Structure 1
Amino acid sequence: MSDAEELRIAQQRHDELVALRRGTLASVHSWELVTAVDGPGTRLTVFLSGCPLRCQYCHNPDTLRLRDGTVTPLQDALATIRLYRTVFAATGGGVTLSGGEPLMQSDFVARVFAECRALGVHTALDTSGYLGRNASDALLADTDLVLLDVKSGLPETYREVTSRRLEPTIAFGDRLATLGVPAWIRFVLVPGLTEAVDNVDAVAGIVARWPNVERVEVLPFHQMGESK
Structure 2
Amino acid sequence: MLGRIHSIETMGLMDGPGIRFVTFFQGCKLRCGYCHNPDTWNLNEGKEVSAKELLQKALKFKTYFQKSEGGITCSGGEPLLQPEFLMEFLALCKKNGLHTAIDTAGFGKGQYEEILKYTDLVILDIKHVDKRGYKELTGGNIEAFWDFVNILKSTDTRIWIRHVVVPGITDGEKHIQKLKNIIKQFENVDKIELLPYHTLGVQKYKEMNIPYRLSGVNPMCKEKVKKMEEKLLSA
The TM-score normalised by the length of structure 1 is 0.86
Distance 1:180 1:115, change over 3 A: same
| Aligned residues between the structures | 204
Per-residue CA deviations over 1:154-201 (Å, capped at 9, x if unaligned) read 211111110111122233223212112111011000112211222221
Aligned match of 1:141 in 117, 122, 143? 117
The amino acid that maps onto 2:127 is K
Give the equivalent residue in structure 2 for 1:223.
199
Matches of 1:219 and 1:143, distance apart in 2: 24
Give the equivalent residue in structure 2 for 1:14.
none
The amino acid that maps onto 2:144 is P
Matches of 1:111 and 1:166, distance apart in 2: 27
Give the equivalent residue in structure 2 for 1:199.
175
Aligned match of 1:103 in 80, 84, 87? 80
Distance 1:51 1:185, change over 3 A: same
The 5-angstrom pairing of residues 100-139 of structure 1 reads 100-131=77-108, 134-139=110-115
- Structure 1 stretch displaced more, 30-39 or 154-163: 30-39
Matches of 1:140 and 1:180, distance apart in 2: 9
Residue 35 of structure 1: how far off its partner (Å) = 4.0
Identity %: 38
Matches of 2:138 and 2:113, distance apart in 1: 26
Superposed CA RMSD in Å reads 1.3
Matches of 1:186 and 1:170, distance apart in 2: 16
Matches of 1:59 and 1:215, distance apart in 2: 23
Matches of 1:135 and 1:181, distance apart in 2: 15
The 5-angstrom pairing of residues 8-27 of structure 1 reads 24-27=1-4
Give the equivalent residue in structure 2 for 1:170.
146
**Does residue 182 of structure 1 match 2:158?**
yes
| Pair member with larger Rg | 1
Aligned match of 1:209 in 147, 166, 185? 185
Structure 1 segments of 4 or more deviating over 6 A?
none
The amino acid that maps onto 1:159 is K
SS in 2 for 1:164: coil
Give the equivalent residue in structure 1 for 2:59.
82
User: What runs of 5+ residues in structure 1 fail to find an aligned partner?
Assistant: 1-23
Residue 73 of structure 1: how far off its partner (Å) = 2.4
SS in 2 for 1:67: coil
Matches of 2:62 and 2:44, distance apart in 1: 30
Q: Would you say the 8 A contact 2:10–2:61 is kept in 1?
A: no
User: What runs of 5+ residues in structure 2 fail to find an aligned partner?
Assistant: 205-235
Q: Would you say the 8 A contact 1:153–1:201 is kept in 2?
A: no
Give the equivalent residue in structure 2 for 1:20.
none
Q: Which has the higher helix share?
A: 1
The amino acid that maps onto 1:150 is I
